[in-house]
Amino acid sequence: GDKAFAQFLTDEIKEEKKIQKHKSLPKVSGGWELDVHGTEAKLVRKIAGEKITVTFNINNSIPPSAEEDTQEQQKPDEQEPELTSTPNFVVEVIKDDTKQTLVLDCHFPEDEIGHEGEEESDIFTIREVSFQPTGEADWKDTNYTLNTDSLDWALYDHLMDFLADRGVDNTFADELVELSTALEHQEYIKFLEDLKSFVKCQ
């Protein structure tokens, strides 16, 4: 059983490497520096008196696909649909002279992906906004967190503009998806390789 499993994994790794778009991770334009630790990635950018960091984790970042019903019609030689990783991401804006960090929790709404036609609509949304003490690893649940569900649209638009002015806009979000997808794929291949070694280990 293990031999067959290892063989299956070998083939699977070959296939995945064949369809791997990026041998190295794609860059995000706009002077962002990338730092990756396992499944977590951090993008950092400094502009006049501010540091902006965007953090995301690729775990559970691939939306469930609506494939269940189309499985029957798929021809054997058809390419599988491309998986896209759309992780939630957290934007932190740190101003040099304050002790507080503005934290914006953003995500990609599932129904938005693929509606490129509408120029106006944003491909990501802000879900929550809060202030956290700068430099503290653990955020406090006691800090007021603003949920955007019931937010005044004008305020929400200003928050989106505030992010766009700092380089977090649709272009950035598109590139983040591309980066995340490449990172997810890279980690998946690594996982298959580790699994293969593990299975073969006597």
Domains and CATH numbers, the chain: 1-59+83-109+121-200 (3.10.280.10)
pLDDT computed for residue 80 by the predictor:
58
DSSP lists the bridge partners of residue 33 as 44
pLDDT computed for residue 82 by the predictor:
74
The neighbour count for residue 16, using CB atoms within 10 Å, is 15
DSSP lists the bridge partners of residue 69 as none
pLDDT computed for residue 7 by the predictor:
94
Backbone CA torsion sign across 5, 21, 61, 29: positive
Phi, psi of 181 (to 5 degrees): -65, -40
Helix or strand or coil: residue 128? Answer: strand
pLDDT computed for residue 164 by the predictor:
96
Instruction: Give the span between the Cα atoms of 178 and 181, in whole angstroms.
Output: 5
Residue by residue, DSSP assigns 24-69 as: SPPPPTTT-EEEEETTEEEEEEEETTEEEEEEEE-TT-SPPPTTTT
Q: In the chain, which stretches have pLDDT less than 50?
A: 67-77, 112-119
Among 41, 47, 58, 30, residue whose Cα is nearest residue 189: 58
Q: Mind listing the pLDDT tens digit for each residue in 62-87? A: 887 654 444 444 444 455 567 899 99
pLDDT computed for residue 64 by the predictor:
79
pLDDT computed for residue 170 by the predictor:
95
